[in-house]
Amino acid sequence: MRALIQRSLQATVTISGEAVGSISHGLVVLLGVEHEDTAEDAEWLAGKIHQMRIFGDADGKMNLGVKEVGGAVLVISQFTLHASTKKGNRPSFIRAARPEVAIPLYEHFMSTLSKEVPVQCGVFGADMQVALINDGPVTVWMDSKSKE
């Protein structure tokens, strides 16, 4: 399971011009599910994200997590995080999980995360537009397979 995490001041996801998810302060998580991912991957990633200390404390040092600053998380499904560009110029998405595998894991990830912080989301598989004000900018890449 891969995630691109962005600290944001404000973020909204819209579908056909209608806002379906919005946060005022917190994290935007673009989430990609691989066909070999499990519930353990979702739980590990959710745990790391809500505890990640990437918000400034009183001294301006990144020492606080999203929960500590009263923030929320906007989760957007994004199979393209599993793109392979090894051959040619057209990305291959063969490693991305099919919906019957990806949807339950995406939902499990959000359910696990929502036990700790407020969570908003887009619609799995929809054509979405995401608008955000990236704070910092602070952007972190995580992969549950490498656990770096």
Domains held by the chain: number: 1
38 lies in which domain range? 2-142
- Is residue 134 a part of any domain in this protein? yes
Percentage with pLDDT > 70 across the chain: 99
- The catalytic position among 6, 12, 55, 78 is 78
Told to judge if 10 belongs to the known catalytic residues of this protein, a careful annotator would answer no
Per-residue pLDDT band at 146 (split at 50, 70, 90): confident
Q: What is the CA radius of gyration of the chain?
A: 15
**Catalytic annotation on 38?**
no
Provide the residue count of the chain. 148
Whether 148 is in a domain gets the answer no
Residue pLDDT, tens place only, 107-129: 999 999 999 999 999 999 899 99
Given pLDDT bands bounded at 50, 70 and 90, which one contains residue 92? confident
Q: Which of 80, 93, 129, 139 is catalytic?
A: 80
101 part of a folded domain: yes
Based on the residue annotation, tell me whether 79 is a catalytic residue of this protein.
yes
User: Residues near 140 by Cβ (< 8 Å), separated by ≥ 6?
Assistant: 4, 5, 6, 52, 54
The one catalytic residue in 6, 12, 55, 79 is 79
The residue behind tokens 């399971």 is 1
Domain of 78, CATH number, reads: 3.50.80.10
Is the pLDDT assigned to residue 31 strictly greater than 80? yes
How would residue 49 be classed by pLDDT, with cut points 50, 70 and 90? very high
- Given a contact cutoff of 8 angstroms between Cβ atoms, the answer to whether 125 and 99 are in contact is yes
Residue 147 domain-assigned (yes or no)? no
